[in-house]
């Protein structure tokens, strides 16, 4: 990151700096230590999210209560593990930008330090929850060719600030919707509900920082990085969404792993969640002036289920728990 302010499509540098300064002030006032906030031993022993929130919702499977309880714990643990790793990637990218910045007094640097601190607290909270959930699933995608490709790409992405920020938006918007669905559902375990609320509260500032800085980062990005945002990002984000719950989760409860995983990701119920979760990322890109209505790239249209103007295509099934899509 350079500290030299650059002209941006929608936000003047001064306004962006002021807004970021206010985010830092809010972070100082709300330092929340998860170890002090939560009683980890209070997590219930059985099903931690309702039937409606299981990713298998659209598959018409006849699962007994014990299997559903196990599946719920494995699914939540898999998502938390993904969150821990994703936040580590974000922290790496931000740390690199701080190391290479020209002016350490830029308010963006201070805010990134706040965000890194908050993410490390989230990671500690998620680790404690994973310990309590005691998952047994092994991720078959965390080895072999897939793992090598993922590692290679992550090490490249953290060096591309604009592209990384689009992925940060995805890594924050997608869990935000999933955690909103869980925190508002009556069948969610009370501890999990409270951790979700705590996380969403802090992530709202991170989303604000991402939306504020994306225009200036994109303004400084080279042609190749811009092409990646346009054509490569929707593929990566689609993959990110599909692997939040990996095939090993289904195998761990006696279902055919890859077959169930593919069926889940093709189900109308899961596709509707993906559309809803990713439309806010696209909205940020439109607001930043990166895409124009009427000329949204095909990959983004497919990812978000929208037309070339960004309007939702008809046909999505309702989200679980009667959550208002427009408000989500």
User: Which residues in 48-77 contact Fe ion (CB under 5 A)?
Assistant: none
Q: List the one residue from 108, 122, 180, 274 that touches Fe ion (CB under 5 A).
A: 122
Tokens of 233: 């990002």
Task: Give, as ranges, the residues between 250 and 309 that touch Fe ion (CB under 5 A).
Answer: none
Closest approach, Cβ 112 to Fe ion, in A, equals 11
- The CA distance from 25 to 35, in Å, is 23
**Cβ proximity to Fe ion, 70 vs 122, nearer residue:** 122
Burial of 180 (0-12, 13-18, 19+ CB in 10 A): buried
| For Fe ion, the closer CB: 165 or 264 | 165
- Please spell the DSSP secondary structure of 68-125, one letter per residue: HHHHHHHHHHHHHHHHHHHHHHHHHHHHHHHHH-S-TTSHHHHHHHHHHHHHHHHHHH
Region from 101-109, 114-122, 261-269, 274-282 binding Fe ion, contact rule CB under 5 A: 114-122
* Residues 21-40, mask of contacts with Fe ion (x by CB under 5 A): --------------------
Contact in structure between 167 and 157 (CB atoms under 8 Å)? yes
Candidate segments 69-77, 111-119, 133-141, 217-225, binder of Fe ion by CB under 5 A: 111-119
Residue keyed to tokens 């002036």:
289
Residue 265 phi/psi, 5-degree rounding, is -75, -15
* Nearer to Fe ion among residue 176 and residue 189 (C-beta): 176
Which residue, 80 or 282, is less far from Fe ion as judged by CB? 80
- Least distance (Å) from Fe ion to the CB of residue 206? 3
Cβ–Cβ < 8 Å for 93, 167: no
Tokens of residue 73, six digits: 């714990």
Size of the site for Fe ion (CB under 5 A): 4
CA–CA separation, 87 and 223 (whole Å): 27
> Shortest approach of Fe ion to residue 67 CB, angstroms?
30
Q: What is the DSSP letter of 254?
A: T
Which residues, in sequence order, are CB contacts of 97 under 8 Å at separation 6+? 1, 112, 161
Looking at the Cβ atoms of 23 and 285, the one nearer to Fe ion is 23
d(CA 303, CA 306): 8
Question: Residue 294 CB, nearest distance to Fe ion (Å)?
Answer: 32
Q: Is 123 or 267 the residue whose CB approaches Fe ion more closely?
A: 123
Closest separation in Å from C-beta 19 to Fe ion:
17
Q: Which helix (H) or strand (E) holds 36?
A: helix 34-37
- Residue 321 structure tokens: 């728990």
Closer of 19 and 230 to Fe ion (Cβ): 19
Greatest Cα pair distance in the chain: 59
Q: Which stretch binds Fe ion (CB under 5 A): 96-104, 121-129, 156-164, 316-324?
A: 121-129
Chain positions 188 to 217 lying near Fe ion, rule: CB under 5 A, are 203, 206
| Binding to Fe ion in span 74-103, by CB under 5 A | none
Rank residues 68 and 193 by Cβ distance to Fe ion and give the closer one.
193
By CB neighbour count within 10 A (0-12 exposed, 13-18 middle, 19+ buried), where does 42 fall? exposed
- Shortest Cβ distance from residue 122 to Fe ion (Å)? 4
Give me the least distance between CB of 233 and Fe ion, in Å please. Answer: 18
Min dist CB 123 to Fe ion, Å, is: 8
| Least distance in angstroms from the C-beta of 121 to Fe ion | 8
Note the residues at the interface with Fe ion (CB under 5 A).
Answer: 119, 122, 203, 206
């Amino acid at each position: 990151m350079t500290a030299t302010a650059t002209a941006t499509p929608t936000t003047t540098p001064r306004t962006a700096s002021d807004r970021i300064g206010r985010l830092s002030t809010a972070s100082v006032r709300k330092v929340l230590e998860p170890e002090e906030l939560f009683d980890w031993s209070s997590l219930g022993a059985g099903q931690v999210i309702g039937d409606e929130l299981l990713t298998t919702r659209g598959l018409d499977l006849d699962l007994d209560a014990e299997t559903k309880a196990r599946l719920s714990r494995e699914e939540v643990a898999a998502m938390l593990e993904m969150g821990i790793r994703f936040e580590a990637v974000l922290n790496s990218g931000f740390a690199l930008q701080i190391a290479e910045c020209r002016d350490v007094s830029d308010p963006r640097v201070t805010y990134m330090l706040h965000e890194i601190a908050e993410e490390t607290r989230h990671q500690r909270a998620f680790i404690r929850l994973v310990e309590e959930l005691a998952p047994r699933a092994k991720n078959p995608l965390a080895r072999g060719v897939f793992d090598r490709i993922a590692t290679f790409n992550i090490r490249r992405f953290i060096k591309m600030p604009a592209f990384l920020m689009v992925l940060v938006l995805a890594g924050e918007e997608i869990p935000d919707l999933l955690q909103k669905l869980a925190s508002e559902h009556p069948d969610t375990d009370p501890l999990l509900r409270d951790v979700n609320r705590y996380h969403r509260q802090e992530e709202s500032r991170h989303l604000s920082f991402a939306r504020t800085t994306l225009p200036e980062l994109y303004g400084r990005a080279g042609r190749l990085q811009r092409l990646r945002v346009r054509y490569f990002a929707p593929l990566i984000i689609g993959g990110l969404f599909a692997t939040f719950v990996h095939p090993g989760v289904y195998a761990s409860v006696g279902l055919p792993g890859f077959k169930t995983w593919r069926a889940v990701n093709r189900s109308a119920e899961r596709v509707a969640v993906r559309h809803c979760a990713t439309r806010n990322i696209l909205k940020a890109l439109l607001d930043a002036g990166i895409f124009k209505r009427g000329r949204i790239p095909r990959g983004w249209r497919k990812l978000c289920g929208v037309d070339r103007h960004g309007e939702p295509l008809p046909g999505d099934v309702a989200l679980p728990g009667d959550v208002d899509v427009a408000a989500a």
